[in-house]
Structure 1
Amino acid sequence: MNNRIAKRRINKESATGIIFVAPALILLFVFLIIPFVLSLSYSFMDYNILKPDKKTFVGVANFIKLFHDKVFIKSIINTFVFEISVVPLQVCSALGLALLINRKMKGISVFRLAFFAPTVLSLVVVSILWSYIYNPNNGLLNAMLGMLGISAQPFLTSTKQAMACIVIMSAWQGCGFQMMIFLAGLQDIPDYLYEAAKVDGANKYQQFKNITLPGLKNITVFITLSIVISAFQLIVQPMMLTQGGPQNSTSTIVYQIYQTGYKFRNVGYGSAMAVVFTVLVLLIIMIQRSLTAKSNED
């Protein structure tokens, strides 16, 4: 009798768990697994979305074409340049802002709100605002440089400056969210550690190095991983600010996928790009996981 009751309870709990998990699994299957399988199959075809009845199997021809496509190779390089540039800048900016607002003083909540506000805004809106700031003719930034006696800069119209402008704008827009996570981590570090360090004669730098940074280690790893993943999806900023130019200097992998698959309707070639992009992201995640595991062992 007791065994029957226990089995019924287990079955009831299992059914309840399945009911709660089912919506997430359905969404995962519909919006992730099915699209990936379709993209993988389309990547081996010559398929124009305007001519759905004329699909032609071409094998690995799309992938061979990719590795001879100078624009796509340039997009891969641009994506990694953005990644390498924005991750340390955004992490350091977020940590610096968190240290600034981690104080008990009157009016500090106003600064917390001001630093966090850009995160709430849409990237499209932020990009439009910064396009006026970066305007080479009558932009705000060139006006400020003129007051300092510095000549006007081309910014988004320069192949050397355009990506740097996007990096700065992206770090400014996103660091507010990471700042709040760092702030939670800072407030979780016990005060007695700093008090003991002061008694031992440690200065501010020594306290930061030996107490703050070790206390934020796991949070820093999490924030770094989240920025790395989101940075690979760069598309809105170059789309709104530069349209991938000048001379493809700000074109990224996701932007090329969008251009090829949706604008030029070449679904087969665009799907091959998406497959290569997925493989690159998986490789980066595996490398990061191995590095994180090694650091945790140390």
Structure 2
Amino acid sequence: MAAPAVLLLVVFFLVPVVLCFVLAFTNARLVSPEPSTLIGLANFERLLHDPLFWQSLRNTFYFAVVVVPVQSALALVLALLVNGSSRGTNVFRTLYFIPVVTSIVVVSILWKFMYQQNGLVNHLLQAVSFNTIQGADWLANPSTAMPAIIAMSVWQAVGFHMVIWLSGLQTIPGELYEAAELDGTTPWQRFWHVTWPGLRNTRTFILVTITIAALSLFAQINVMTSGGPLGSTSTVVYQAVRVGFQQQETGYASAISLVFFALVLTISLVQRFLTRDKD
């Protein structure tokens, strides 16, 4: 009964992982008349001296450092606003969640048009500022390209983590809030002493999932900027895909993927250790 699922896991997970570990130590190419040979740590030595890799790594961490706290905090605020059964709550939950079920490729294409020189974003800025602000070509400027992608990514994914926060909020017993109100606590005190401790497991899950998703940034970059301008939006995953499929250097792309896997695994383990149940 488990054979179909096990077969899929082996073909689409186990085999690619093993191949990645093996190919990282070879000079394999995607299409080549010459057989691949073992070259030891040459790919990793090349990685250490590749300026684009280090730039991509900085961009990846920059994206994650901004997105993780902003997206998780905004999702929590939205969850607090729609928590309850008042009139209109379901409508707002649906509106906030619609971007999540929309394809990231479609969202990226739409926002790419919005960020153009004559796009919606610049028109709104001009309308709000009474034409005193002249909008920029957001995705063509190295200083604004990554912040523009960050804003779009937070908007697209915040609804999903809002639902996770909301599920955590609804597991907190109402009696705790009633007891806190009887003690004369303020809303902030109720949040800090009742809500926030009750969300311990939820915030651990959200922290890990947002971090992994942020470090794996690819689709938005591929659709909106192709790593530019001047490599200002290139990420580790995007570089691995570009090197492996466009430049057809499978061995070097596997080395990049292997380093990326080690980084994500290390960060995830550190997060789990810091957020563990100390009791």
- Shorter-chain TM-score bucket reads over 0.9
Paired residue for 1:160? 143
How many positions carry a matched residue from both structures?
A: 276
Paired residue for 1:46? 27
Identify unmatched segments of 5+ residues in structure 2: none
* TM-aligned CA deviation for residue 235 of structure 1: 0.5
Paired residue for 2:119? 139
* More off after superposition, 93-102 vs 179-188: 179-188
Aligned partner of 2:77 among 78, 89, 96:
96
Calculate the aligned-residue CA RMSD, in Å: 1.4
- SS of the residue corresponding to residue 188 of structure 1 reads coil
Residues 1:119 and 2:100 aligned together: yes
Alpha-carbon separation, structure 2, partners of 1:23 and 1:66: 38
Aligned partner of 2:257 among 274, 281, 289:
274
Paired residue for 2:239? 256
Which amino acid counterpart does residue 35 of structure 1 have in structure 2? P
Paired residue for 1:109? 90
* More off after superposition, 177-186 vs 246-255: 177-186
- SS of the residue corresponding to residue 170 of structure 2 reads helix
Paired residue for 1:14? none
- SS of the residue corresponding to residue 212 of structure 1 reads helix
Deviations 1:227-247 (A, max 9, x none): 111122110001111110111
After the TM superposition, which residues 82-231 of structure 1 pair with which residues of structure 2 at under 5 Å, given as runs?
82-135=63-116, 137-147=117-127, 148=129, 149-231=132-214
Which amino acid counterpart does residue 145 of structure 1 have in structure 2? L
> Percent identity at matched positions?
45
Paired residue for 1:59? 40
Which amino acid counterpart does residue 118 of structure 2 have in structure 1? N
* More off after superposition, 143-152 vs 115-124: 143-152
Alpha-carbon separation, structure 2, partners of 1:205 and 1:158: 41
Deviations 1:126-157 (A, max 9, x none): 0011112211x211111111121322133211
* TM-aligned CA deviation for residue 43 of structure 1: 1.4
Cα distance change, pair 259–236 in 1 and its aligned pair in 2 (3 A): same
Deviations 1:207-264 (A, max 9, x none): 1111111111110110111111112211000111111011111101110011000011
Paired residue for 1:74? 55
- SS of the residue corresponding to residue 297 of structure 1 reads coil
TM-score normalized by the length of structure 2: 0.94
Alpha-carbon separation, structure 1, partners of 2:33 and 2:47: 22
Which amino acid counterpart does residue 115 of structure 2 have in structure 1? Y
Larger radius of gyration: 1
* TM-aligned CA deviation for residue 32 of structure 1: 1.8
- SS of the residue corresponding to residue 124 of structure 1 reads helix
Alpha-carbon separation, structure 2, partners of 1:116 and 1:102: 14
Alpha-carbon separation, structure 2, partners of 1:218 and 1:292: 9
* More off after superposition, 233-242 vs 274-283: 274-283
Q: Is the 8 A contact 2:64 2:215 kept in 1?
A: yes
TM-score normalized by the length of structure 1: 0.89
Which amino acid counterpart does residue 26 of structure 1 have in structure 2? L
* TM-aligned CA deviation for residue 158 of structure 1: 1.5
* TM-aligned CA deviation for residue 25 of structure 1: 2.9
* TM-aligned CA deviation for residue 104 of structure 1: 2.4
- SS of the residue corresponding to residue 125 of structure 1 reads helix
